[in-house]
Amino acid sequence: MREVDKIIIHCSATKEGQEFFADDIRKWHKARGFSDIGYHFVVNLDGVIEYGRDLSRRGAHCKGHNDGSIGICYVGGLNKEGEPMDTRTTEQEDSLLMLVSTLKRLHCGAEVYSHSDFSNKACPSFDATTEYRWA
C-alpha cells in the first residue's frame, strides 16, 4: 500500500443537479492526456461512491501533491450560473464524511485538505480542510 498523508477533496466543477459519473470524468481526463481518471473516488449526487484510479497508483488530481495523497471528487461545485458554490446533496455530505472517516482510519496521520489549499481555485467550493479536520 502507498504511504498516504493527505486526502484532498475536489469538486467536478459541474453545475448543480447535473449528474456525471466516474466514467464521464475518466473520459474528460483521458482527453486531456491522463492515463486514467485522476481521482481515486467519485461521489455521485445520490451519494453512491464510485472507484476511480486504483488506490495503489499515484493520483493525478493536485499538481505537486499527488505523491502520498488520495483524491476524492464530488459531482458538482457550481451553481446553475456556473459560479463556485457548495452544491453537495445531503447524500453526498453523508457519503463524503463516511469515506473520509474510513480513509483516515486506514491511513493514520493523514490530514484532509481542500484542493484550494494547494491551488488558486475555488475547488471544492467549501472548506473541506476545516469540515473534516475531526472526521
In order, the DSSP letters of 9-78 are EEE--EETT----HHHHHHHHHHTT-SS-S-SEEE-TTS-EEE-S-TTS---SSTT--TTEEEEEES-EE
Residue 119 identity = S
Q: Which of 29, 39, 73, 104 is catalytic?
A: 39
Catalytic site includes residue 61: no
Q: Is 104 a catalytic residue?
A: no
121 as an active site residue: the answer is yes
Query: Which is the catalytic residue, given 6, 10, 61, 104?
Result: 10
Q: Which residue has the cell 495523497?
A: 69
Q: Which of 6, 104, 123, 132 is catalytic?
A: 123
Catalytic residue among 11, 29, 115, 132: 115
Q: What amino acid positions are annotated as catalytic residues?
A: 10, 39, 115, 121, 123
